[in-house]
């Protein structure tokens, strides 16, 4: 069974701190997406990375795709309470472009 492992599973930090969450697999992905989900809502796409080694920035969020396209990280600088939510990664299996594999998510709480 192909898996996308996300770590840590839970993270509680103070406003202003930096953090990094990870998304790892033994599989190669043709692309990988990061979503944020708030309670009672559906996930919202933050970014898609496609090229190995690619880095994308979205304000205080920095996303990196691993060189081998098997892993990704999300770094948040100076976290704010509005960053609170469940962060999900989802990868498109390079061997089967019809298959999207989801991680279980990292639940982030940023306390004021």
Partner 1 sequence: DARVTQTPRHKVTEMGQEVTMRCQPILGHNTVFWYRQTMMQGLELLAYFRNRAPLDDSGMPKDRFSAEMPDATLATLKIQPSEPRDSAVYFCASGLASISASQYFGPGTRLTVL
Residues that bind partner 1 (CB under 8 A): 30-31, 33, 40-45, 48, 88, 90, 92, 97-100, 102-105
What's the closest the beta carbon of residue 98 comes to partner 1, in angstroms? 5
Q: Quote the least distance from Cβ 48 to partner 1, whole Å.
A: 7
Looking at beta carbons only, is 39 or 112 nearer to partner 1? 39
Measured distance CA(13)–CA(47) in Å, rounded? 23
Spatial strand order in the sheet of 61-65? 5-7, 19-24, 71-76, 61-65, 55-58
**CA–CA separation, 32 and 102 (whole Å):** 10
* Shortest distance (Å) from residue 111 CB to partner 1: 22
DSSP three-state, residue 58: strand
For residues 58 and 78, which CB has a smaller minimum distance to partner 1 in the complex? 58
CA distance 82 to 49: 23
20 or 93: CB nearest partner 1: 93
Minimum distance, C-beta of residue 1 to partner 1, in the bound complex (Å):
12
């Amino acid at each position: 069974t192909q898996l996308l492992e996300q770590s840590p599973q839970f993270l509680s930090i103070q406003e202003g701190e930096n953090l990094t969450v990870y998304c790892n697999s033994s599989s190669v992905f043709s692309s990988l997406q990061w979503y944020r989900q708030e309670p009672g809502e559906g996930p919202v796409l933050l970014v898609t990375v496609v090229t190995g080694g690619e880095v994308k920035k979205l304000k205080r969020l920095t996303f990196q795709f691993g060189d081998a396209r098997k892993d990704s990280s999300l770094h948040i600088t100076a976290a704010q309470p509005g960053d609170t939510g469940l962060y999900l990664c989802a990868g498109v299996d390079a061997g089967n472009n019809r298959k999207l594999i989801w991680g279980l998510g990292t639940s982030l709480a940023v306390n004021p």
